[in-house]
Copies of this chain bind each other. A is one copy, B any other.
Amino acid sequence: MNTLSYGLLGLLARRESSGYELMLRIQPFWQAKHSQIYPLLAGMEEKHLLSSRWVQQSDKPDKKIYVITELGMQKLREWMYMPIAPSVTKDELSLRTFSLWLSDIGIAFDIYEERRKIYLDKKQYFEGILQGIPKDMCHFGNKEFSNYILASKGLMMAETELKWCDWVLDLLKQHRMQTTSVHKQ
């Protein structure tokens, strides 16, 4: 069983979901495509960690709802005592930043302004999540506590990323002003 499987088990322990819905729920914390999740869920059902039923829908396509079994809950509880792998990040922007000195300042502006928008969207996404969480439910032992602290982390990180982007854009603006004033002299 890999980490993603345990993550899906954890989401299903909170409430039953379709594969499609699980894919959307896990996105903000672990980017996985439907083509990875569907076979994984099928495998977990074969191992009796999950059970499923088809639900007919009139306006939308039929969906397969997965429910966690007692064996699944057992495996999930065991997972909580296992060592946690360090976080892995792969951000092309960091690698691109290494080679910034090769291109002109216009490209640099485009790159960080584009990224700024992404961070702003991210910030607003987590602000929306936090607004939907009733604050009196946010204490340890409650399922809402996890949503609360995860959304708070998402918001804090997005705010920092946004701050960094603005700072970089300021440095670029300062440089552009200095070089144009040199031209005028």
Contacts and interface: CB of A to CB of B under 8 A. Distances in A.
Given A97-B149, A102-B76, A153-B164, A89 B87 contact: yes
A36 interface: no
Interface residues of A, number: 70
- Give this chain's copy count: 2
Contact of A80 (B13, B96, B146, B175): B96
Contacts of A143: 101
Contact of A95 (B7, B101, B103, B115): B7
B80 A30 contact: no
Contact of A140 (B85, B108, B149, B150): B108
A143 B163 CA distance: 22
